Chains A and B, each alone.
Chain A
Amino acid sequence: MIQSITILPGRNKTGNPETFDRIDICPGEIVGVVGPTGSGKSAFIEDIEQLAQADTPTGRRILINGRVPDQVLRFDPKRKLIAQLSQNMNFLADMTVSEFLMLHAKCRGKGRDLVDQVIYHANTLTGEPINKEMNLTVLSGGQSRSLMVADVAFISDSPVVLIDEIENAGIKKHKAMELLSGNGKVILIVTHDPLLALLTGRRIVMKNGGVEKIFSTTQHETDLCAELNKIDRELFRIRECVRLGEEIVA
């Protein structure tokens, strides 16, 4: 069981120590990671994915329940506590969707029955449906991303979920967030999207490879987020009309 994940400071790209003491994240919390491109957001969640022990370029250390985690947790996918949705938009493995999902389920010590479930949920996020006989490499960016989301949600199903720029693939991002977040998970989300950033309780701001500051979402921001969501839903509706070749009516 995970009660907390702790991030201890390392160095930024210039080699200067980061200024925070420690960051503790508890189950049920959603934390955002924001900052300009190249500021070290992906490296930050990579450190968590690897349970870094001052052995990555940033020098950060990650504790679980306040202690240095067992080596096995770092390497054995069957015991892995962390699921990661990276920025990748395409699969490179030359195999069919079902072969791939079966192999991954085996790696994670899960049953084959998850395959259909993953495909079903992936198809709720994307446009043209994916079927299990398709080759992974022919899937579009959106289809690949949807399959990755559903794979992380059901096969990698872990208490900690790291999400890197989910907004990039043109899939239903709120629905995807719902699938990924489940109950009582620790969620870190790297994003440039104000809607997703303001959805979180806290956001970590990156600069020059290091954590620059951490702040909590204000009431004003939460209200703003609700307003923005209305606009976003409207935009989404219009985009779907355009995609389906329909006339847009008021």
Chain B
Amino acid sequence: MKIQSSFWLAIVASVILSACSTSVERLDAQQQIDLSGAWNDTDSQLVAREMIEDSLSRAWISKFVKSEGKDPAVIVGRVKNLSHEHINTNTFIANMERELINSGEVQFVASSANRQEIRDERADQDLNASEATRKEMGQEYGADFMMQGQINTIIDVDGSTQVRFYQVNLELISIKDNRKVWIGEKKIKKLVKNSKLRG
């Protein structure tokens, strides 16, 4: 009788413990998973890819190559988060940088934060590196265009149902004369229905 009750106790305990344990499943980074309906990595990658593809397919790039005889050098500036969510715009910027560099159609210049670190390194080399390996100041590649933008949202709520509308606007501005050579826009609309019941 005692053995039987201990057996049942062990069964119940293992069921309870298995319910409490953490499970981890490795996923493909490209796999689309939406949990809360908020802006996620899929949105970030999708928008970056589509917008950069659009920007590189427009006439400004061929006009620049024709007039200057070289590929344009681009830098990604600030993308302002004006949305309802705490969006890490750095990952979005990183996605855009990757798409731009991998396109092979533009030169890409490091961001201002990266540049400062490199300048510090050059200043250090100026003092400490041998003459043969030292890199000189004043040899930086100046960008021709800066890409800037913003993420906006409109949220419409009715009870447990929400329509989330995201609009990402990007602009490519000529650093030489402030001309806007490309304006891109990408919209995402999501219908989020939250359950009215929980466990």
Tell me if chain B binds chain A: no
